[in-house]
Amino acid sequence: MARATTKDRILASLRNSKGKVFLRDDFNRFGTYRQVCRVVKELSNEGKLIRLGYGTYVKAHPSSISGKPVADESLINIGLEVMKKLSIKADVGKEMRALIEGDSTQVPMPPIVNIGNSRVCRKLSVGNRCLVYEKN
C-alpha cells in the first residue's frame, strides 16, 4: 500500500477539522516547510483554501453563483477565530454589540473586531473586504 502524500494528509486534516481557520503552523507536522508551502499554495489555487493574510488560511467552497471560491464563514467570525488561535482576547465591535443587545437597529457594514489593548498588525482580508480592528 502506498504511503499517503503530504497533500492527502493535509486534505484529511481539513476534512476532519471542526475549525474553519488555519495558521501555517497547523500543517507543520505533515512535512517539511517547503512541502507544506507547496501543498497549501496548491490547495489555494484549487479553491479549497483561501489565503486571508500572512500565514492565515480559511476553508473554502465554490460559489453557487460565480463558481469562484468563497469562505465557509463570515469575515467577522473568521477574525474572531484567528484572534483566538493567536491567543488574543477579542470580541465583536461596539456597533455589532449594540445591535446584538437591541440598543440599535443599524447593521454595521465593515467587519469590526474589538481587540482590547492588544497590538495587532496582521491584515486579514477575503476578496476586497478587510477586517477592521477596534481598541478599547
- Residue 1 pLDDT level (bands cut at 50, 70, 90): low
Is the domain of 28 the same as that of 78? no
Q: Is residue 67 part of a domain?
A: no
Identify whether residues 38 and 90 lie together within a single domain: no
Residue 131 counted as domain residue: yes
Any domain includes 97: yes
Reported as a single tens digit per residue, the pLDDT across 14-45 is 999 999 999 999 999 999 999 999 999 999 99
What is the DSSP track for the chain?
-PPPPHHHHHHHHHHH-S-SEEEGGGGGGGS-HHHHHHHHHHHHHHTSEEEEETTEEEEEEE-TTT-SEEESS-HHHHHHHHHHHTT---EE-HHHHHHHHTS--PPPSS-EEEEET-------EETTEE-EEEE-
| Global pTM value | 0.85
Full residue range of the structural domain in which residue 34 is found: 6-62
Task: Please indicate, yes or no, if residue 68 is contained in any of the structural domains.
Answer: no
Query: Does some domain include residue 53?
Result: yes
CATH code of the domain covering residue 38: 1.10.10
Number of domains observed in the structure of the chain = 2
